[in-house]
């Protein structure tokens, strides 16, 4: 049974590696929110040619739903996404998560190593940067924000900083609920959970097999069996075999690389301060809090 909403009215647009999973988690158990089953639809960035009907079929709102949307971090830095979103829903409400750009780039690199997009004998950030220029491109926050503000009023954007999530997640959740005009007294389960563990897979192929098995069980409505396996300790044993701490396989960032990135992002940070009215000296000091 469909609710009153006929189409999404909010988006979590990124940036990548800035707590998008946490955002999805604190919205997923709110009784007044309908999310797409798939966290990252990437419709307005990568699958715009699928059409509006396909997009809207990804949502099944029930009675009492007041906010319907999805979380796709690819939107924030995609050059065509702002106009596409505005053309689809000019009153869309947008949630933007931002993080100290050097730390964001490092997290991006760890993710690329974990999922097997980047491998080899040299897993250093410096080698990863040569392979993937978007480590920097995605951190040009002011440039991307200015693009979105050409199509949306600033009142339609809620900017959240990663370190605020770390330091006071409950307050950030309340602000998000207020922004979406839903019950801000709800206490999400995700506040007491870790949304996205940092690790590197020793074998990407083995991880793919595990994820495929989990997907099959979920599709066959046997998710309870996967949960049971978790309680028996098999999943814990698997993690001990196939997961490693990133610091044990990825060399530390070279000081000269960190300084180069801080210099590169300096103007972007200054412009972002003007756009958001937020002092970001903590980022200049190389920290997130």
Note whether 77 and 217 are same-domain residues.
no
Nearest to 181 by CA among 61, 67, 30, 59: 67
Of 45-54, 85-94, 116-125, 241-250, minimum mean pLDDT range:
241-250
- Predicted structure pTM score: 0.81
Note whether 195 and 211 are same-domain residues.
no
Q: Is the pLDDT of residue 1 over 50?
A: no
Query: Residue 123 sits in which domain range?
Result: 10-199+255-284
- In this structure, the strands spanning 200-201 and 243-244 are antiparallel
* The pLDDT of residue 207: 62
State the DSSP code for 62: -
Judge contact between 67 and 9, C-beta under 8 A.
Answer: yes
CATH number at residue 119: 3.40.50.300
Angle CA 6–9–13, to nearest 5: 135
Judge contact between 253 and 123, C-beta under 8 A.
Answer: no
Handedness of CA 168, 174, 177, 178 (dihedral sign): negative
Task: Place 214 in a pLDDT band, splitting at 50, 70 and 90.
Answer: low
Residues 6+ apart with CB under 8 A from 220: none
Note whether 45 and 113 are same-domain residues.
yes
Note whether 153 and 236 are same-domain residues.
no
pLDDT digits (tens, 9 = 90+) for 157-208: 999 999 999 999 999 999 999 999 999 999 998 887 655 555 555 555 666 6
- Tokens standing for residue 243: 């997961």
Task: Place 243 in a pLDDT band, splitting at 50, 70 and 90.
Answer: low
Domain count, the chain: 2
The answer to the question of residue 249 being in a domain is: no
The answer to the question of residue 3 being in a domain is: no
């Amino acid at each position: 049974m469909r609710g009153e909403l006929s189409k999404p009215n909010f988006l979590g647009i990124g940036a990548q590696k800035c707590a998008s999973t946490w955002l999805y988690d604190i919205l997923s158990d709110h009784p007044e929110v309908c999310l797409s089953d798939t966290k990252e639809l990437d419709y307005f960035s990568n699958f715009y040619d699928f059409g509006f009907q396909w997009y809207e079929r990804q949502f099944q709102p029930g009675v009492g739903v007041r906010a319907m949307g999805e979380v796709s971090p690819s939107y924030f830095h995609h050059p065509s996404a702002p106009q596409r979103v505005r053309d689809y829903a000019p009153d869309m409400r947008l949630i933007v998560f931002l993080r100290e750009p050097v730390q964001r780039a490092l997290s991006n690199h760890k993710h690329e190593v974990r999922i097997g997009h980047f491998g080899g004998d040299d897993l250093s950030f410096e080698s990863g940067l040569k392979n993937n220029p978007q480590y920097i491109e995605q951190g040009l926050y002011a440039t991307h924000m200015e693009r979105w503000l050409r199509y949306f009023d600033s009142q339609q954007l809620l900017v959240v900083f990663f370190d605020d999530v770390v330091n006071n997640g409950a307050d950030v959740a309340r602000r998000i609920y207020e922004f979406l005009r839903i019950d801000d007294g709800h206490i999400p389960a995700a506040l007491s959970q870790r949304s996205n563990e940092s690790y590197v897979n020793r074998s990407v192929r083995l991880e793919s097999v595990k994820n495929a098995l989990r997907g099959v069980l979920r599709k066959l409505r046997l998710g309870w069996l996967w949960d049971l396996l978790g309680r028996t300790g098999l999943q814990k044993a698997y993690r001990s075999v196939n997961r490693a701490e990133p610091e044990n396989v990825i060399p530390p960032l070279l000081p000269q690389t960190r300084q180069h990135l801080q210099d590169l992002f300096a103007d972007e940070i200054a412009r972002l301060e003007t756009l958001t009215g937020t002092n970001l000296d903590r980022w200049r000091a190389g920290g997130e809090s």
